[in-house]
Structure 1
């Protein structure tokens, strides 16, 4: 099993903008597990602690294998979500590791 972890720093500089951006990202990505069968588990949410140090929003998802992760990465619905996410973020970090 592969765990895919992505964290984003949001581009918005004010709290209201960050809250709106995090909600938009969550809304864009949350429907994907119902559409992409390769996603086995999926969690996404905004940071709730240590805002001065932590990233703003994080996604954690599991896949059976790297092929499943790659299928997700290139799925047309995921790519549509990416088009929503990219303009809202200033930085992205990710790690994919084996469980």
Structure 2
């Protein structure tokens, strides 16, 4: 199995707007589980500190193979989330590893 972990740092927003953006982003990511067959597990967590100096949101996903991860990466539903992320994310980090 492949574990795909992504951390997101949002652009600067006022607190109320940041909460809304985080909720929308989180719901979009979680919604992929029902839309992409290759996605076997999906967990999304917000940093407990709203204005942390580190990352704001973590995504943990599991796939049966690298090929399934590659299919996920180009899936049209995932690309919609990627487009949204492009509007709201200032920085991201990712790692993929076998487990």
Q: TM-score, normalised by structure 2?
A: 0.90
Residue segments in structure 2 that go unaligned for 5+ positions in a row: none
Deviation at 1:51, TM superposition (A): 4.7
Q: Are 1:30 and 2:30 counterparts?
A: yes
RMSD of aligned alpha carbons = 1.5
- State how far apart, in whole Å, the 1-side matches of 2:90 and 2:61 are: 22
Aligned to 1:80: 80
Shift of 1:20: 1.4
User: Which position in structure 1 is the counterpart of 2:13?
Assistant: 13
Q: Taking structure 1 as reference, are residues 50 and 15 closer, same or farther at Cα in structure 2, changes over 3 Å only?
A: closer
User: Is 1:40 matched up with 2:40?
Assistant: yes
Unaligned runs of 5+ in 1: none
| Counterpart-to-counterpart distance in 2, 1:41 and 1:74 | 18
In 2, Cα distance between the equivalents of 1:54 and 1:78? 24
Aligned residues: 99
Normalised TM-score (structure 1): 0.90
